[in-house]
Amino acid sequence: MDQDEFERRLREVCEFTRPEISDSTGSERKANKRSRQTESDNATLPIKVTQLKIRPSVCDLCGKVCAQGQKYERKMLFRAETSAWRNNCTVCELVEDPWTGEMTHSFGTAKKAWDEYLRFLKLKL
DSSP string, 91-113: TTTEEE-TTT--EEE-HHHHHHH
Q: What is the dihedral of CA 23, 28, 34, 38, to 10 degrees?
A: 150
The parent domain of residue 65 ranges over 57-124
Q: Are residues 30 and 69 in the same domain?
A: no
Q: Are residues 8 and 41 in the same domain?
A: yes
Q: Do 26 and 17 touch, CB atoms closer than 8 A? A: no
SS3 state at 53: coil
**Max Cα distance, the chain (Å):** 79
Q: Are residues 120 and 94 in the same domain?
A: yes
Q: Are residues 9 and 66 in the same domain?
A: no
The total of structural domains in the chain comes to 2
Q: Are residues 112 and 96 in the same domain?
A: yes
Residue 38 — pLDDT band, cuts 50, 70, 90? low
pLDDT digits (tens, 9 = 90+) for 94-121: 888 888 888 888 888 888 888 888 888 8
